[in-house]
Amino acid sequence: MTTPPGRAPRGFASATVPRHLARGALGFGALAGALALLPTVGPLSLLLLPAGLVALRGCPMCWVMGLAETVSAGRLRRSCADGRCELTTAR
């Protein structure tokens, strides 16, 4: 499956690795900030949790899966024929 130019890939992947890493920094930063600011700001800091989860597209594991998809995008090709699928490297 190839992604048309200008469109983000399906799944959890981002268009580029730097963009995906920026989303991770924002997401993990918001999650850490929500917990770190809890003693000083109080429950108001928990408003950062939804922002962090949106940036990570659901959960930290989803972000990690997306990183793997983003790094491998364009390097691996899947082809299916006669009920059998193969994963090969792109040339």
- Model confidence, pTM: 0.69
What is the rounded (10 degree) CA torsion for 40, 37, 54, 59?
-130
Per-residue pLDDT reduced to its tens digit, 38-48? 999 999 999 99
Per-residue pLDDT reduced to its tens digit, 61-83? 989 998 988 888 767 777 888 88
When comparing pLDDT for 12 and 84, which is higher? 84
Whether residue 52 is predicted with pLDDT greater than 50 in this model: the reply is yes
Give percent above pLDDT 90 in the chain.
Answer: 46
Rg of the Cα atoms in the chain = 17
User: Tokens 């499956």 — which residue?
Assistant: 1
Question: What pLDDT does 5 receive?
Answer: 53
Per-residue pLDDT reduced to its tens digit, 20-39? 999 999 999 999 999 999 99
Average pLDDT for residues 2-28, to the nearest whole number? 77
Cβ-contact 68, 56 below 8 angstroms = no
